[in-house]
Structure 1
Amino acid sequence: MTAGLPALLALAGCSLAPAYHRPDPAIPPSWSAGAPDLRADEAALPAVSYREIFRDPHLLAIIGQALANNQDLRVALANVAAARAQSRVAQAQILPQLDVTAGADVRHGEAGGASNNLPGKSYALDGGLSGFEVDLFGRLSNLSTAAFNEYLGTEAALRSARLTLVAQVAATYLTLAADRSLLAIAVDTEDSATRSVELTRVRLAGGLAPRTDLRQAETILSQAQSDKAQLTTQVAQDRAALDLLVGAPVADADLPAAIETVEGLRAAIPAGLDSRILLRRPDVVQAEYALRAANARIGAARAAFFPTISLTAVAGLASTALSALFTGGAFNWQVAPQATLPIFDGGANRGNLAFAKAERDAATAKYQKAIQTAFSDVATALARRATIDDQLAADTRLEAAAADTLTLVTARYQRGIDTYLDLLDAQRTLYQARRTVANTRLVRATNLVAVYRALGGDQLVDTLPPPTGNGG
């Protein structure tokens, strides 16, 4: 038996898991939309830090707070710690577990008694391994591989949570800035509409204007007042949402005054985007680790069809005298191998194998879906990026034209050339044009957030590289 033990240990580690091959990504090799500099044929793009994208100092300070305080990140960190511990437990199952016990036995009895326990003392010191499974067919090693890949998946999930948090904080910050701009526009319009209503009342009292002019002036005032009330609520809700993401109240000094005052947003993404960049997105990395874990569990399920060999070995020292415990004659040992061969299990092993294969197929589909989703996210964001600057330029020209029109119509109305309805139409047009510019600025800024999030790489957020192409 002792001669066969090294041979058994040498056989341990044979794996029945299918060889892992990364599925070919079901995506085109290049982007179908976007500016020409986004379709350069470089093989990869270095990770871009959010600090290079969102360069507003107040926004960067808020993002730093969120990364330190956000409760969802703390949950993700705890999940990583739990998965790491589970991986260590699974790895430990492959190794022998050694135990040492020490004991002393003191017996008392009466002379001439019927008991066979004669008075005396004995001492023992034993060490051994209990139920060590020789991993001949890789069941334990495959379970360990699966647990390790699950742990790496939680690391990727943590990076995904960080990436999502950065994007959410930036988007909420920008939304707050835009809503404050819209609120300022509504307040400004309310002030000018109030003056118009007062002037029209005076003209009505003097018989210089009909009552319809007053009622029309009041419509603009009421609309501005309604927008003001709604936007006041929206600004408060934006502030509350930002505080929740950060995990603490944000200082007033760090809050944006308006979308126009947000500083340093990057205007362009660096050239060199290749579709393979998506393989480093945290959600894609997480999906691949899940696929690797499912692949390893097939090997564990296959190993269940083969014999299981367990070893229990004890070696120790025993003596009736403590002083003789460590002498040569006190040594004793015992090895008890046990083999278990599955004969009839009611189809449980076949069911487990079929289940493991189905899980692998599902993980493959999820991996492909993750890549397709990533490609769709990037293509959608880049398509919007290619036209948003033109839209903002057009909206800005429209605002300038509307402001000039209002100036001209006001002068013509004062000279009695245009009607009050013409003046009100010019006021409405300018009000809507100013709102449109603010909203387009928000779309442009949040599109940058969408591109950053879709690319999924941040050298200050991502700390673990994606899996290599093939292998366990």
Structure 2
Amino acid sequence: MRQTVGHLQLIVAALVLAGCTNLAPRHERPASPIPAQLPLPAEAAASASAAAAVPLGWKAFVQSPQLAQLVQRALDQNRDLRVAVLNVQRAEAQLGVARADRLPTVSAGLTAAATPNASSGRQTQSFTAGVQVTAWELDLFGRIANLGEAAQAQVLATEAGRRSAELALVGAVVSSWLTLGADAELLSVADRTLASRESTLKLSKLRFDAGAASALELQTAQSLVAQARNTQVQLRRQHALDLNALALLVGGPVPADLRPGAAAAGTVAGTAGEVLAPVPVGLASDVLLQRPDVIQAEQALVAASANIGVARAAFFPRLALTGSAGQAGSRLSDLFQAGNFAWSLSASALATVFDSGRNQANLNVARVSRDIAVAQYEKAVQSAFRETADALAGLSSWREQLAAQGQQLDAAREIARLTELRYTNGAASELDRLDAQRSLLAAEQTLVQTRLAEQVNRVGLFKALGG
């Protein structure tokens, strides 16, 4: 009885010691290799808060009901995002496996054995039934705990990866929708240009038939019509390609009522039909540390630090317990009778004596992997700062360029009107008239492209700040 109590005391002491030692280095977030403040334009910095701005959710960012429905469809149906969600579920399952190693695995079974007896010439039979624990490792040096910590960090990293994929998907859908709207507006401009040039061709043909216009004037009008028709065909093809790209992001066909038209594409910041909300920006750059890709990189660093603890624990002995308890007897009927209870308990300690430097090499690999994770984290932070700085640089400049381009378009329209009037009165040549029309067409196309660039830049700022 005293011996049994001693065994139990030994087990209790081992359980108390298990998990008390952690050989992994303590995780500390590396210093941010970026300035403390974001490089805001002067006019934006005057009104920005000194604290980090709270990221804007996509439902507050997207103000168009059509676009909001399309984004939600993409979040529900996109296959890449679905893979990211499944990766999270797989990481959670792997975490469950790692946590299960911290507790013993208990098995129940019935065994029967027959061995020859050399002295009597008979077979000796034995029967046992009960529960058994085989080679349960006591985590004295934190090996199993660090494996669990690494698995936990992997779950958090995978979840951050899912959020990063979701943010990228939202940005891609919004940008593609805006591009499709710009295509519709450019196609509308091309349709108007073609209709105008076809009318001019009819008039030139009437003038030519009446002898009031030369063959050169007629051929020029025909060339302009062919050019406008060629542009129209190109824009239709581009519109179809962009629609296919959006359908891939959404995960299915894009309903006609959710597609942008020329009117939707023409909305700009500050109008009643605004598609995107302004993105709040603060002075502090700490907001970048909450970006999903930065969090993912930091959790990878946590896992790398935990793996160092696993590698260090390999230098120390592993203590494992094996035990069983149940009924035993020489006959099967003894298993159902009192007084035949039997139990056994054994412990083993295994230490590496010689491994040709394998444990040291594994430790070196773990340390280098952590250094790599530190560099990748710092790069993620720097990339986030660069993306934000680029978007902030275009925050006001694109708006100024858009306003200037609108003024240029108004001037081009007035020039085209006056030139047409002078041409009708014989005060301007055909060449002057064609130059004015080309300038007007180029100004209309440039305005659409500039508006698209301003909106896409706003989407880039939304993504850069972590959405």
**Shared topology, TM-score over 0.5?**
yes
Which residue of the partner structure matches residue 130 of structure 1? 134
CA 1:371–1:394 in 2, change beyond 3 Å: closer, same or farther? same
Secondary structure of the corresponding residue to residue 334 of structure 1:
strand
Q: Does 1:150 align with 2:160?
A: no
Secondary structure of the corresponding residue to residue 126 of structure 1:
strand
Structure 1, residues 285-341: CA drift from partner, whole Å, max 9, x if none? Answer: 110110100010001001111111111111222246777646662121111211111
Do the aligned residues in 2 keep the contact of 1:38 with 1:269 (CA within 8 Å)?
A: no
CA distance in 1, matches of 2:348, 2:166: 49
Secondary structure of the corresponding residue to residue 266 of structure 2:
helix
Do the aligned residues in 1 keep the contact of 2:267 with 2:274 (CA within 8 Å)?
A: no
CA distance in 2, matches of 1:257, 1:317: 80
Secondary structure of the corresponding residue to residue 99 of structure 1:
strand
Q: Does 1:74 align with 2:82?
A: yes
Deviation, 1:350, is 0.9
Which residue among 227, 231, 234 is the counterpart of 2:238? 234
Deviation, 1:96, is 1.3
Do the aligned residues in 1 keep the contact of 2:95 with 2:152 (CA within 8 Å)?
A: yes
Do the aligned residues in 2 keep the contact of 1:35 with 1:386 (CA within 8 Å)?
A: no
User: What is the RMSD of the two structures over their aligned residues, measured on CA atoms?
Assistant: 2.1
Which residue of the partner structure matches residue 171 of structure 1? 175
CA distance in 2, matches of 1:115, 1:239: 88
CA 1:361–1:207 in 2, change beyond 3 Å: closer, same or farther? same
- 1:236 corresponds to which letter in structure 2? A
CA distance in 1, matches of 2:461, 2:75: 20
Secondary structure of the corresponding residue to residue 304 of structure 2:
helix
Which residue of the partner structure matches residue 24 of structure 2? 17
CA distance in 1, matches of 2:27, 2:33: 18
Which residue of the partner structure matches residue 436 of structure 1? 446
Do the aligned residues in 1 keep the contact of 2:63 with 2:277 (CA within 8 Å)?
A: no
Structure 1, residues 346-393: CA drift from partner, whole Å, max 9, x if none? Answer: 111111001011110111100000010011111101111121111111
Which residue among 37, 49, 61 is the counterpart of 1:53? 61
Which residue among 345, 362, 367 is the counterpart of 2:377? 367
Do the aligned residues in 2 keep the contact of 1:307 with 1:340 (CA within 8 Å)?
A: yes
Q: Does 1:397 align with 2:407?
A: yes
CA distance in 2, matches of 1:265, 1:255: 13
Q: Does 1:411 align with 2:421?
A: yes
Structure 1, residues 381-417: CA drift from partner, whole Å, max 9, x if none? Answer: 1111121111111111111111111111111111110
Do the aligned residues in 1 keep the contact of 2:52 with 2:281 (CA within 8 Å)?
A: no
Which residue of the partner structure matches residue 84 of structure 1? 92
Deviation, 1:272, is 2.8
CA distance in 2, matches of 1:393, 1:333: 88
- Which has the larger displacement, 258-267 or 238-247? 258-267
Q: Does 1:28 align with 2:4?
A: no
- 2:14 corresponds to which letter in structure 1? L
Deviation, 1:261, is 5.4
CA distance in 1, matches of 2:379, 2:210: 72
Do the aligned residues in 2 keep the contact of 1:179 with 1:234 (CA within 8 Å)?
A: yes
Secondary structure of the corresponding residue to residue 124 of structure 1:
strand
CA distance in 2, matches of 1:444, 1:423: 32
Deviation, 1:123, is 5.2
Unmatched 5+ residue regions in structure 2?
Answer: 1-5
Secondary structure of the corresponding residue to residue 329 of structure 1:
coil
CA distance in 2, matches of 1:419, 1:377: 50
CA 1:327–1:42 in 2, change beyond 3 Å: closer, same or farther? farther
- 2:466 corresponds to which letter in structure 1? G
**TM norm structure 1:** 0.90
Do the aligned residues in 1 keep the contact of 2:62 with 2:277 (CA within 8 Å)?
A: no
Q: Does 1:225 align with 2:229?
A: yes
CA distance in 1, matches of 2:43, 2:16: 58
**TM norm structure 2:** 0.91
- Which has the larger displacement, 428-437 or 206-215? 206-215
Deviation, 1:194, is 1.3
- 1:102 corresponds to which letter in structure 2? L
Structure 1, residues 411-453: CA drift from partner, whole Å, max 9, x if none? Answer: 1111110111111011001101111111111112111211111
Do the aligned residues in 1 keep the contact of 2:311 with 2:366 (CA within 8 Å)?
A: yes
CA distance in 1, matches of 2:419, 2:225: 19
CA distance in 2, matches of 1:175, 1:278: 27
Which residue of the partner structure matches residue 122 of structure 2? 116
Deviation, 1:207, is 3.2
Q: Does 1:203 align with 2:211?
A: no
Over the matched positions of the two proteins, sequence identity in percent amounts to 41
Unmatched 5+ residue regions in structure 1?
Answer: 108-113, 458-472
Q: Does 1:190 align with 2:200?
A: no
Do the aligned residues in 1 keep the contact of 2:319 with 2:348 (CA within 8 Å)?
A: yes
CA distance in 1, matches of 2:402, 2:456: 13
CA distance in 1, matches of 2:363, 2:241: 52
Which residue of the partner structure matches residue 332 of structure 1? 342
Which residue of the partner structure matches residue 290 of structure 2? 280
CA 1:35–1:246 in 2, change beyond 3 Å: closer, same or farther? farther
